[in-house]
């Protein structure tokens, strides 16, 4: 017992030192390529964590995340056309994504299992078509469909986007830790294991599902809006693309679904594959799918789920404060 507290403190000291190092990396003369890798890592990490919250811990196989990403991105971009600073647009986009999650939760939560997954899959596609036809602001179109540039971004450097991505990535980890160690986390786990039993025990299953759905939508919306602010434009085919769903599922499953550390490791693998497979755009999705199938056959619990079986990893995890 006497060793637990020093180990726990040492682990958090190391984590804090790592975060400080990442925060000062942009001003230390690091190559732009490094900053881009880390920027994308934290954006995808936030998205993977939120899908892990829904599927891994709440039992909701939601394929709706591109809807939240696209809505937040469009709100942010459109607001910049009327002079609203992009960072306020990011917050407004996140609130819009959360409100949209509340609205669609009413019909989609009437479904369950595979029907819920299909129902949520339809939502981003419907939004893609809607935004292809809608012209919310004037001016020339950019990209495919109703694409819009993000305006008034002069003076905003890669460093700012990097820090924003770092903040939302770390915040997603903190949010997960808080939820999983709260009554909400216990209730969501009960619903995942047996929804009828949880309802029979007096839990408001619908309300608890909405809580996790809205939290996921808000955090995903922030990450998506930051991404499109960095990209400088948004258009329906990419913002509501199933590619987002593929990426966050890969990151979660490869790392280990239903584990806190899984998205952290899985996202690193996905970002690596993203840059390696950029040379093969025509078959990149096929290669990613093949990797996913192979990994599920060889290590069905993912990287971190498999490592958890070994005592050496358990010691390291306790040392770093990843396990109680």
Same-domain status, 282 and 139: no
Same-domain status, 110 and 155: yes
Residue ranges making up the domain that contains 195: 28-240
3-state secondary structure of 234: strand
Q: Does the structure show a pLDDT above 70 at 145?
A: no
pLDDT for residue 284: 75
Residue 226, domain member (yes or no) = yes
| Closest by Cα among 84, 79, 108 to 214 | 108
Same-domain status, 226 and 251: no
Same-domain status, 273 and 168: no
Same-domain status, 145 and 167: yes
Same-domain status, 234 and 260: no
| Position 94 confidence tier, pLDDT thresholds 50, 70, 90 | very high
Residue 283, domain member (yes or no) = yes
Q: What is the dihedral of CA 94, 95, 98, 99, to 10 degrees?
A: -140
* Residue whose tokens read 């607001």: 79
Rounded mean pLDDT, 36-53? 95
Tokens at 310, concatenated: 């070994």
CA-to-CA separations, 242 to 51, 79, 146, 172, 249, in angstroms, rounded: 14, 25, 18, 22, 11
Same-domain status, 304 and 184: no
Number of other CB atoms surrounding residue 47 within 10 Å: 32
Most confident of 72-76, 114-118, 315-319: 72-76
Last residue of a domain, which of 192, 214, 240?
A: 240
pLDDT for residue 11: 63
Same-domain status, 57 and 170: yes
3-state secondary structure of 136: coil
Buried b (16+ CB within 10 A) or exposed e, 70-109: bbbbbbbbbbbbeebebeebbbbbbbbbbebbeebbeebb
Same-domain status, 155 and 283: no
Same-domain status, 115 and 246: no
DSSP state of 52: I
Residue 280, domain member (yes or no) = yes
Last residue of a domain, which of 240, 261, 279?
A: 240
3-state secondary structure of 216: helix
Are the C-beta atoms of 154 and 245 separated by less than 8 Å? no
Residue 17, domain member (yes or no) = no
Last residue of a domain, which of 240, 267, 301?
A: 240
Residue 15, domain member (yes or no) = no
DSSP state of 6: H
Tokens at 268, concatenated: 């690193």
Are the C-beta atoms of 317 and 323 separated by less than 8 Å? yes
Phi, psi at 15, each rounded to 5°: -65, -45
* 299 or 242: which leads in pLDDT: 242
Residue 220: exposure state from Cβ atoms within 10 A (0-12, 13-18, ≥19): buried
Same-domain status, 83 and 225: yes
pLDDT, tens only, 215-255: 999 999 999 999 999 999 898 888 998 889 988 988 998 88
* Widest pairwise Cα distance in the chain: 67
pLDDT for residue 3: 45
* 54 or 283: which leads in pLDDT: 54
Q: Going by C-beta distance under 8 Å and a sequence separation of 6 or more, which residues neighbour residue 164?
A: 87, 90, 226, 229
Residue 7, domain member (yes or no) = no
User: Which phi-psi region, left, alpha or beta, contains residue 247 (left: φ > 0; alpha: ψ -120 to 50)?
Assistant: alpha
Residue 18, domain member (yes or no) = no
pLDDT above 70: percentage of residues in the chain: 87
Q: Using a CB cutoff of 8 Å and minimum separation of 24, what contacts does 266-270 make?
A: 266/48, 266/302, 266/303, 266/304, 267/41, 267/44, 267/45, 267/48, 268/41, 269/303, 270/44, 270/48
Q: What is the reported pTM?
A: 0.88
| Position 22 confidence tier, pLDDT thresholds 50, 70, 90 | confident
DSSP state of 230: H
DSSP state of 148: E
Number of domains in the chain: 2
Same-domain status, 181 and 309: no
Residue 222, domain member (yes or no) = yes
């Amino acid at each position: 017992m006497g060793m637990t507290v020093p180990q726990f403190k040492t682990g958090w000291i190391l984590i804090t030192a790592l975060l400080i190092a990442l925060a000062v990396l942009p001003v230390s003369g690091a190559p732009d390529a490094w900053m881009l890798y880390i920027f994308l890592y934290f954006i995808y990490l936030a998205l993977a964590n939120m899908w892990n919250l829904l599927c891994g811990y709440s039992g909701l196989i939601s394929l709706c995340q591109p809807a939240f990403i696209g809505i937040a991105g469009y709100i942010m971009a459109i607001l910049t056309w009327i002079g609203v600073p992009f960072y306020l647009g990011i917050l407004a986009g996140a609130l819009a994504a959360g409100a949209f999650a509340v609205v669609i939760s009413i019909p989609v939560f009437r479904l369950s299992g595979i029907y819920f997954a299909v129902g949520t899959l339809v939502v981003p596609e419907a939004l893609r078509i809607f935004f292809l036809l809608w012209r919310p602001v004037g001016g020339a179109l950019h990209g495919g469909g109703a694409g819009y540039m993000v305006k008034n971004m002069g003076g905003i450097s890669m460093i700012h986007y990097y820090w924003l991505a770092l903040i939302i990535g770390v915040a997603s980890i903190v949010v997960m830790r808080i939820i999983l160690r709260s009554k909400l986390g216990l209730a969501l786990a009960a619903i995942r294991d047996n929804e009828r039993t949880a309802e029979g025990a007096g839990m408001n299953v619908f309300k608890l599902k909405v809580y996790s759905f809205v939290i996921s939508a808000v955090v995903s919306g922030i990450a998506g809006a930051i991404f499109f602010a960095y990209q400088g434009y948004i258009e329906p085919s990419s913002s509501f693309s199933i590619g987002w769903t593929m990426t966050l599922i890969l990151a979660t499953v490869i790392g280990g679904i239903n584990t806190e550390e899984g998205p952290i490791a899985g996202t690193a693998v996905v970002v690596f594959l993203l840059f390696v497979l950029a040379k093969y755009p025509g078959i990149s999705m096929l290669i990613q799918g093949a990797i996913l199938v192979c990994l599920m056959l060889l290590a069905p619990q993912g990287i971190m789920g498999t490592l958890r079986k070994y005592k050496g990893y358990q010691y390291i995890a306790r040392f770093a404060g990843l396990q109680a």
